Chains A and B, each alone.
Chain A
């Protein structure tokens, strides 16, 4: 057994792996950063970040104003109890396709990665978030599950004719 160099190599490898994991842990990002650049993609990114950070008041500010817009109280409750459990097993990234905009409407593509483990492969889907410009700021009018709950507001903007551009 003392001559089993492969076994010794495995033990050393595992030791190194633990050290690397600790280095990664201590150097990981700990503060939530918002993009706040005023672009449609930035607004979507900040909305996602606010939901993950449970900063529901801030997330609510990214929603467009509408007659039937959900109240802040309901938003808080539904986000906490309906969205957060799903988000715990989901990652959402803006991209990879380009943002499309037309006048006061924009569509931001996002990639949603759900689940993923040994017995189930991750389910990747490409979705879109719809935005409208209100008082010079981009606001969200619709987002896919698990960033949105049906009934938060009725999308008032007509379906835009999309052309790939990069928003300012």
Chain B
């Protein structure tokens, strides 16, 4: 089956399956839940869904199954794997929500709350949810059996494990989020109720019902899927999985952000009380209940998954990859901490200056000062602990230090910090000049001018101090890298065999620019094979036609040569290079120079990325849209789960 046909068959199967399932659910709901009287249009909707969807589903699914059983390639195709696990995912979502609605409804009734306290499916009845649960579970069971049969066929080249891995990790994250939300709601109930008056205790009863429901549904989901992925670690493919590392990083990072936000909220509230804002102990506890309720489960999640992440990264055999993965986590934390610290210092300066100039009273600014101090108390350790660790690594004078200094992530971090701080410095300096010049030129000296200028100067000083510090770090990196890289380049003599043409000229120029200390010799093929002294070079660059059909003397020289060879894929008549995109001599020269530099520096060689600018624009837009979607979904989920 061609890919296009396969896509068509599975897409129609999935859509028609959804039509049939929801048609059947609608029909049964009309019969059992609402009664047949006055339900003509509902009945017609259900019937039409089933009557149209069923033959289409049957025909397409039968075709897909027949092809899969007839051809191994079909059964092991990635699209079939996506269809099977995608269908299981699409069925399990409403199963979970129906189960949630049923349990929540029962608990709300048991606790004695009105039906409006139900969190999900308020406009449905228990029978509605039960019908959906049964029909969807039957369909889920059928497709689960089909998937199991495919898996148990033990076919080579099967793509099912990839999709199964994604399916399992998605459910690990969904189950974990529900569990955290459940614990959060229970803690809110537990911390609010003791000592509260009856009417106050009544307000948090929906949290009890919701919390237990979330745990009854979410905990088994998290536990079972996490158990499955942990057991699968016995398989080498699962151990090497990039997805697992991504998920571990995502969970660790999301939980530490939650911990930091919750801790800042608690510290801010305590500082307000300590700085003299009148507040009773009970109000203080109640005010901090949401933060404490979030802090405790997320701290446990961070400790648990953080330890697993650290253990698994430490167990990676590839040292540079291991170090690079560690850096992702620490630079992200450091960036977050730096941002919070800057924000804290910025607002602290703002309010201290206002107080110093008598424009506000300390008592009126207690809230803002507490905000600033809590941001500093949380932001400083979050910035300094990972940053010092990364600095220690970058100051090493060995290979590890070299890799750390040249790490793309470190460069992004430092340049981003510099960029934002320079923009900040420009803005503050511009505002100072504007305020002063405006006062001088208009001769209107506002009462607040001294305060404004003092504030701006202090902000500029803060910005400048951080700018200077990061600039120094970048300079130190560059100095040490130049020194160490220069030595590496000098120890990597390279021989280019060819003529001074459109490829060789830019190659020599690029090499001179990128690695000025790298010794390069050009040997014209007209002069026969290079002499024996050239056998000591670390790398030899030669065009494809010479590699394929060298002269006798060159063939002998190449036989003796033991260093690295870089073949330039020049286009030959009647020769096709698979996987090779046609490039101009200049493009090839840039790529060859970069590869020689990477070889000299002991880096892992990387192929050049696609040069089509539209592909890059597509990647950027895709990433932005993905982030936006993720943020939107997270916000929606948070509002619903942590109400």
Contacts and interface: CB of A to CB of B under 8 A. Distances in A.
Contacts of A32: 197-199
B294 A118 contact: yes
A122 B290 CA distance: 9
A126 B367 CA distance: 13
Interface stretch (A4-12, A57-65, A71-79, A155-163): A4-12
Nearest to B232: A1
Given A28-B201, A52-B200, 18 more contacts: A1-B230, A6-B304, A7-B226, A10-B304, A11-B223, A20-B190, A21-B189, A21-B208, A28-B198, A32-B199, A33-B197, A49-B199, A52-B202, A111-B279, A116-B289, A119-B638, A119-B642, A124-B279
15 contacts: A1-B230, A10-B300, A10-B304, A14-B182, A18-B215, A32-B199, A49-B199, A93-B280, A93-B282, A96-B280, A113-B283, A116-B287, A116-B290, A119-B639, A122-B286
Contacts of B283: 91, 93, 96, 111, 113, 124
A146 interface: no
A1 B238 CA distance: 15
Nearest to A122: B287
B194 A31 contact: no
B593 interface: no
Given A17-B190, A32-B199, A33-B198, A25 B280 contact: no
Interface of A: 1, 4, 6-7, 10-11, 13-14, 17-18, 20-21, 24-25, 28-33, 49, 52-53, 88, 91, 93, 95-97, 111, 113, 116-119, 121-122, 124, 126
Interface string B256-280: 0000000001000000000000111
B219 A21 contact: no
B196 interface: yes
Nearest to B194: A24
B496 interface: no
A18 B212 contact: yes
Interface of B: 111, 179, 182-184, 186-187, 189-190, 193-194, 196-203, 205, 208, 211-212, 215, 219, 223, 226-227, 230-231, 265, 278-280, 282-283, 286-287, 289-291, 294, 300, 303-304, 307, 635, 638-639, 642-643
* 7 closest cross-chain pairs (CB), A and B: A52-B199, A118-B642, A96-B280, A29-B198, A1-B230, A28-B201, A21-B186
A27 B589 CA distance: 79
A126 B364 CA distance: 13
B230 A29 contact: no
B642 A117 contact: yes
Nearest to B301: A10
A124 B287 contact: yes
B440 to A, nearest CB: 43
Given A18-B212, A96-B279, A118-B642, A91 B203 contact: yes
Contact of B186 (A17, A52, A88, A113): A17
Contacts of B223: 11
With a 10 A CB-CB cut-off, give which of A32, A118, A119, A121 has the most chain B CB atoms: A118
Nearest to B304: A6
A113 B223 CA distance: 37
B287 A14 contact: no
Contacts of B202: 52
A127 to B, nearest CB: 12
Nearest to A123: B287
Contact of B200 (A91, A111, A122): A91
B278 to A, nearest CB: 5
A113 B183 contact: no
A29 B201 contact: yes
Contacts of B231: 1
B212 A21 contact: yes
Contacts of A95: 280
Given A14-B219, A93-B280, A124-B283, A29 B290 contact: no
Given A96-B283, A118-B642, A49 B203 contact: no
A53 B190 contact: no
A32 B196 CA distance: 11
A107 to B, nearest CB: 14
A118 B290 contact: yes
Nearest to B265: A121
A16 to B, nearest CB: 11
Nearest to B206: A88
B639 A88 contact: no
A87 B231 CA distance: 49
A13 B202 CA distance: 25
A122 B203 CA distance: 15
Contact of A13 (B182, B184, B300): B300
A126 B366 CA distance: 14
Given A21-B190, A122-B287, A96 B278 contact: yes
A161 to B, nearest CB: 20
B611 to A, nearest CB: 43
B193 A24 contact: yes
A122 B265 CA distance: 10
A166 to B, nearest CB: 16
Contact of B287 (A4, A29, A30, A113): A113
A4 B230 contact: yes
Nearest to B185: A21
A1 to B, nearest CB: 4
A14 B304 contact: no
A17 B278 CA distance: 32
B182 to A, nearest CB: 8
Nearest to B268: A121
A6 B111 CA distance: 33
Contacts of B291: 121
B124 to A, nearest CB: 23
A6 B190 CA distance: 24
A139 to B, nearest CB: 22
Contacts of A117: 290, 642-643
Nearest to A29: B198
Contacts of A93: 280, 282-283
Contacts of A97: 278
Contacts of B639: 119
A98 to B, nearest CB: 10
Contacts of A53: 198-199
Contacts of A49: 197, 199
A113 B285 CA distance: 11
Contacts of A17: 183, 186-187, 190
Contacts of A28: 193, 196, 198, 201
A21 B290 contact: no
Contacts of A124: 279, 283, 287
Contact of B280 (A21, A29, A111): A111
Contacts of B638: 118-119
